[in-house]
A and B are shown apart, each in its own frame.
Chain A
Amino acid sequence: LPGAAQWALASKSSTQNLAYAKRSPQALPAAKTSLKEAVDQLKRQYNVRIAFREGLLNDKFVAAADNSATGLESNLGQLLPAFGLGFKRITAQQYVIYAAASAPAPGDHIRGRVVFAEDGTAVPGASVVLKGNAQVGASTDADGNFDLKIPDANDRQPVTLVVSFVGYSATEVVVTNRSAPLTVKLAKSDQALDEVVVTALGINKQKRALGYAVTEIKGEDLTQARENNVANALTGKVAGVNVSGLSTGPGGSSRVIIRGNGSLSGSANNQPLYVVNGMPIDNSVPGLAPTAGGGGSNVDRGDGIASINPDDIESITVLKGGTAAALYGSRGGNGVILITTKKGRAQQGIGVEYNGTFTAESISVLPDFQYEYGQGDGGVKPTTLAAAQATGRRSWGSRIDGSTDYVGVDGQTHPYVAQKNNLKNFYQLGHTATNTVAFSGGTEAINYRFSVADLNSIGILPGTRYNRKTANLNLSGKLSPRLSFEALAQYNLEVGRNRPSAGDATANPNWSPYMIANTADVRWLDPGSNASGNETVWNDASVATNGYFVINKFQQNDRKNRFIGQGSVSYELFPSLVVKGVVSQDHYDYDFSHITPTGTLYALTGQYVGIKSDVTELNGLLTATYNKQFKNFGLTVLGGANRRHSELNELDQFGVGFTVPYFYSYNNLGSSTTQALSSRQEVNSVFGSADFNYKSLFYLTVAGRNDWYSTLSPANNSQFYPSVNGSFILSDAIKMPAAINLIKLKGAFAQVGQGAPDPYAVNLTYSNVASSGQPLQNVSSNTAGSGISGITNANLGPVLSTTSEGGIEGQFFGNRLSFDLTYYNRLTDRDIVNSTISPTSGYNSVYLNAGRVRNRGVEFLISGTPVKTSSFSWNASYNVAYNDNRVLSLADGISSINLTSTVGNWAYINNIVGESAFEIVGTRILKDAQGNTVYNATSGFPVATGLQPLGKSVAPLTMGFSNDFRYKRFSLNVLLDGKFGNKVFSISEVYETRLGLLKSTLPGREAGLRLQGVTQTGDVYDRTVPVSGLRLYYDNYKNYSELFLHDGSFIKLRQVIFTYNLPAFHISSFKLQSATIGFVARNLVTLLRHTDFDPEQSFSNSNYQGLESIGLPRTRSYGVNLSVKF
């Protein structure tokens, strides 16, 4: 169970009064393991909860061999007595460790016994504290007895004791007669809801106090079957979190959407905010995400979250809505993913952890082309080199008959047979090796953890490489009882080579293996260049670059140096009031170059594209927190101020024509331009929140925030927005049947504001256009590369997103079964959209407060433990979420906004009132009322309808089903996930139709294709397309978008992890604490799909999803993982 409680939270400051055995560490010279680690290990191994008072296990160390017994209780029995500790089994899953014997205390005492209400048995290890003075406390012994010394100040006064125990409701007892025997009965409460989760600004809150949906994932769930990009590892794990990993090779980006697209703007960031240890990090893609129509250097350069090493992650908390994230302000509106990194712990010696993973990757789905008619045109196969080159990507030849007069693009004669292994032959087995070593340790005053990691990937495309080095240092300390600090430093060096491009044909290495004629072996194109280094011709279109030429001659290098630094100091001004200051900066320098070599057929003298940029995200945060417990009320008040400054400085270089051929330097270009781009914005904020709790039964949080945005005009740049959320523990308020452990009701209302996503959108500006002659000037928004994409609007006001949510959580049957149901309604109003407008307006797009978009839906999680014995357990968890996304309105008089389109305008992504945001739009074949195809009698082709909405680009229904099986030291994790209800437009299939590769192009190959229907005037239309005209006939299909539209639904076996926990404590000579070996696999099998390609085939993490292009094929990965702790 995640977030296992430590009872300490209920009585944090009472530890110093506890009497427990403190053995000298010197007594155990061989010891390396802290007792706490040993207990934690047992918790994981046996999947139980073990409660103990915070600090009780500190400064205690065990020999590595101490845990030689088998079975949890034997182990505990072996470990604990030496420290004067005892343990007790409370339920099948729950144990408690307590100080076995308390020394008698002198003075005025209250003595008593704590028992369980349900059976009257003793509660060992329960906390008893004096109300109003938590410094005075004790814990019960094995028999449930306690002995609390009351300070003189309370002499002869009635006192109230607070008795608490993990999993049980805290009980207050008023003691007037201190000599009377006292028995306190503790009633069961829920356990999971006592869990503590990290919420906004890094504040720990009890889960029961939250009025909104939060999900936490432990770091270890991310490290075994690892994804290079840790965000992809969230796939299927959290209800309502829609994760799309991209198939762009190692070092690629991810796209995460929580509760739907909240903004209609193409350039808006609809992804959640990533926050590391309380402070935001940058998640931008350098040089922007690839586009559907781009070519050349149109590559996915990797996003910001890709830099985080999963081994450094302690836990990830997903705050789903604006409700959870109101404290993060404008960028929290799409949800927040909080990453808490691992910290050092006070321990003897140095803790060393090693985690290594090796995975191999292979293509997940191979296309199923037609293999009846081979290379050629008009039903004729090529028998000369010229004909072979003219038809290199045309499978419009004669019937594949094995004849031997067939000539390929290599000029050789080959048997005319199907070549079904072009993909396998072109791509290779990719592999990734990840190694992380972490050192941790510390004293009472200062703790540290330092890790170094190396990730090295070889892509399935030969020549594609990605290397990521990460060093992460976390220092924290308590310098005095009041002053503490924390410092985090992460350095990344990411180096990418030859990332594959997608989109259009130019420089796209994937074109050759996919589009080559079906009787040609792609290896005939190898090496792609002639003796002088120029590209060799393989087809009729020079823009369809020879894939081997791309692999062997194109050069693409990128390097990102990133440093994330964070420092915080907190000081307790006086009891209950803590002031904290945090400064963090995430900065990277990025250098990218892409060289189209001399001799490239579509750019004979070569081209150069370079990006040099630096990105900074700087945040300063000051908070003051006040905590106070009144009689029945708890109160926490938080106030703060935040300044966020983000900045991008970029130089874009472009040039054509290498003066000295084959020499690739920017200085060697015949014509070159360098364009400076700058983007700066700042948001200043003040915020406050107050948490109330009444008898731990009702919880209420009220928060408000005011933001000032630099991107809006001064008249409109201030915005206040409030939020409120609460929860009610119904099962504590009303007596429930025994089977019900918990019923919690929750509700929330929150608003989140937002400024303009892009700066400089207030006033029209003019940019210099690079010229070798007279100076040239243009409107910035119409100047390519100026960084301003739309005409400006001085009246822009802030966006307001309002989320309401409510839900119920329940736990049953001794917590063997639990569920969590949440309904939400999120309305984004006055959304700022950079809307594409008719170019006849003089401009291509305009910033408008253009829309209202609604996301509403339900999220449901059910989890349980169907089987549990001492040696075998099966935990299952199923989550499902449905998000209904709808554009409610756009700017006045506008019912449709175009955002992007494919190459050739074969399909569009539009926002249309009444449809989903980012709807796929295109044409269909026109039918008359009787369903006959309507033909244009002049051209002889079917008539295309006007543009119509064709389907959602984002799946509304998502689900995940996770199963954990444990048998003794073995465990097996199986994760299935699925998405349903979205459409995918396949650009590949447009080409595969035009080129005669798809089975749908088979009709008519033998005797021509008969077309029957009606003309536009209603007359009968009947003609036969001759075999010689078939290619042009099918080529014309690109004008009917519906033919290439598919249901994108799928179910995948996403992850399988099979692990074996080595009996680590046996290997004393190696001083191993633990070792786990795992066999891991990701994206193993697609169990359901409606496409001939992987339905998740995606090349861009921009808002424009639902377009498949000729990108790198998606892969499955499998390998081994070894995790060792010393």
Chain B
Amino acid sequence: CTKDFAEINTNPNAVSTLTPEFLFTKAEYDGVSNTLFLLLGTMQYTTSFNDVAGFGSKYIASQVNSSSSSFSSAYPGALNELSLIINAVKDDPTRVNLLAEARIWRVYCYSRLTDVYGDIPYSQATSGYTSNLFTPAYDAQKDIYADMLKELDEAAQSLDPAKATYGASDLIYNGNTTQWKKLAYSLMLRLGMRLTKVDPASAQTWATKALAGGVITADGDIAKVTYLSSGQIINQNPLAYQLYNQDYIAANGSTNQEGGKYQDVFINYLKQNRDPRLGVVSVVYTGGSPNVTDTTFAKQQGMPANLSAKPANFAQLSEPNPRTVLLRGSPFLVFTAAESYFLQTEATLRGWSSSTPAATLYANGVSAGLRQWSLISASDGTIPTAKINAYVARNPLVTGSLAQQMQQIYTQFWVAIFPDAQETFASYRRTGYPALTPNNYPGNATGGQFPRRFLYPLSEQNLNATSYAAAITRQGPDNLLTRVYWDKQ
């Protein structure tokens, strides 16, 4: 009487074996979308007069738990998908590229997570099904960094152009192993440089190794996940979709659901430097009419981050340009040539590299940062070469102290990497630049200082209490001011 039970208990809508390619595409989407959007506010690009939506720029104590969102979604998303792929392909020598690219992408995903939260479950994570491990330990960020760098090294070396790739399922490079190798070494450069404050020797070792391996410098090698402009939401640029759908969909400058605008700090900086990107990224709605936008310099004005109610001039303030920043079909830039050049500039200034002068690398970074908007929108993002050259000429690398040069590099970095605020947040904590003034909003959780990390989900106290407690003991209290390992004072 139980002979048909096996069939009855088989889900007719699911398969019993995975397809690595399909999971990899999903992992690329999930890895990008799992961004802490609130950092756009923290890094003073945007703000809102609304308490909840304005948390990023105000760090109000009562809203601190909203900062744990990307922790909770990372593991069941990209991280678990990648670990499933790795388990499925790791013993098959013909799929070595599938394994290597999954490992590289997993490092990207883990680095985004540990940079925000510090110590996180790593070596024991995503083993709920394979090992019945439901309460993984938190690894020290130091160890996580060591392992991530090792992973990048091994994966980069194992890539083999003669073997099969993900092909079209790889939305970043269409399976191109040469470019994946560049991404691996670029991430090695990024993570290696992250260690300059806490462990300069290791930083030098890894940065040198990365540069020797070959990093992204050409616009054509920029790592970007491509999206569609319509169809399923998951196929659309998550940052653009989030901003558009949650705040700017009305496109009239006035009835923004979450009360968002560009922050005055960002707009003022672009205006002061007559940055040609201002009109690319920002618009003003004229007279509140839907879709009548103006990108002229003089009219651009950001919103202060200390408001608690909608200002009278709200409709006249600058907000993201629907033809560039809010384009749901635009790619998300994962690793840009600009970032690579800025990191190389710093490495050169530190004396770790001497192949190209620092000033040249810096100028390459600035111009790459201006050029990259044409990847977002060829029509509305392309800045004329003459304007780019003029801007680069106006902003040469200063010949001062390393501190002055760092300030210049990482202030430019702040503008060039927009809207990837999460990377800005990391480089800000490492270098201290750009020299932003923290918002001392009433009731803020930090006593008017910039957050140094964000909170673990409350649920970890409930579901993974022992591991959580061990992490707190090692790292420090679970608040916004505890510094992560590489952010050593």
Contacts and interface: CB of A to CB of B under 8 A. Distances in A.
Interface of A: 377-378, 386-387, 389-391, 537, 540-543, 601-605, 643, 656, 670-671, 673, 676-678, 680-682, 684, 708, 710-711, 714, 717-718, 759-760, 762-780, 782, 786-788, 791-792, 836-844, 846, 893-894, 896, 898, 901, 904-905, 908, 910, 921, 936, 938-941, 946-947, 1028-1029, 1032-1033, 1035-1036, 1038-1039
B9 A759 contact: yes
Contact of B81 (A605, A771, A778, A839): A778
Contacts of A684: 1-2
Contacts of A602: 257
Given A771-B232, A774-B22, 17 more contacts: A714-B6, A765-B11, A766-B15, A769-B26, A772-B231, A773-B235, A774-B21, A776-B29, A777-B26, A788-B11, A841-B125, A841-B126, A841-B128, A841-B133, A841-B135, A846-B128, A940-B443
Contact of A778 (B26, B136, B231, B235): B26
A905 B1 contact: no
Contact of A710 (B9, B52, B121, B479): B9
A838 B61 contact: no
B230 interface: yes
Contacts of B447: 938-939
A910 B16 contact: no
B77 A782 contact: yes
Top 4 A-B residue pairs of the complex, sorted by shortest distance between their CB atoms: A772-B231, A841-B128, A842-B126, A842-B80
Contacts of A769: 26, 234
B398 interface: no
Interface stretch (B336-344, B381-389, B400-408, B453-461): B453-461
Contacts of B13: 676-678, 767, 786-787
23 contacts: A386-B310, A542-B257, A681-B9, A708-B2, A766-B18, A766-B19, A769-B26, A770-B232, A772-B230, A772-B231, A774-B21, A787-B11, A787-B13, A837-B463, A841-B128, A842-B79, A842-B129, A896-B465, A905-B459, A939-B443, A1032-B60, A1035-B51, A1035-B443
Contacts of B22: 768, 774-777
Contacts of B26: 769, 776-778
B173 interface: no
Given A684-B1, A765-B14, A898-B459, A1032 B62 contact: yes
Nearest to B310: A390
B258 interface: yes
Contacts of A846: 128, 134
B462 interface: yes
Contact of A1038 (B11, B62, B308): B62
Interface string B1-43: 1101110111111111111011101100100000000000000
Nearest to A711: B9
Contacts of B120: 840
The binding surface of chain A is classed by DSSP as: mixed
Interface of B: 1-2, 4-6, 8-19, 21-23, 25-26, 29, 49-52, 60-62, 65, 71-77, 79-81, 83-84, 120-121, 125-129, 133-136, 168-169, 171, 228, 230-235, 245, 249-250, 255, 257-259, 308-310, 312, 442-447, 457-465, 467, 479, 481
Contacts of A786: 13-14
A390 B51 CA distance: 12
A601 B257 contact: yes
A904 B243 CA distance: 21
Nearest to A840: B121
Contacts of A767: 13-15
A837 B460 CA distance: 9
Given A776-B26, A778-B23, A842-B125, A1032 B80 contact: no
Contacts of A905: 65, 458-459
B442 A1028 contact: yes
A386 B443 contact: no
A792 B16 CA distance: 12
Given A766-B15, A841-B125, A1039-B62, A760 B10 contact: yes
Contacts of A908: 462
Interface centre among A718, A760, A839, A844 (most CB of B within 10 A): A839
A900 B14 CA distance: 26
A540 B309 contact: yes
B330 to A, nearest CB: 14
B80 A838 contact: no
Interface centre among B1, B26, B76 (most CB of A within 10 A): B76
Contacts of A643: 1
Contact of A773 (B16, B228, B245): B228
A191 B136 CA distance: 65
Nearest to A775: B22
A910 B463 CA distance: 10
A31 B17 CA distance: 75
B442 A896 contact: no
Interface centre among B12, B83, B136, B228 (most CB of A within 10 A): B12
B19 to A, nearest CB: 6
Contacts of A777: 18-19, 22-23, 26
A760 B255 CA distance: 46
Contacts of B83: 842
B17 to A, nearest CB: 7
B445 A939 contact: yes
Given A779-B84, A838-B135, A898 B463 contact: yes
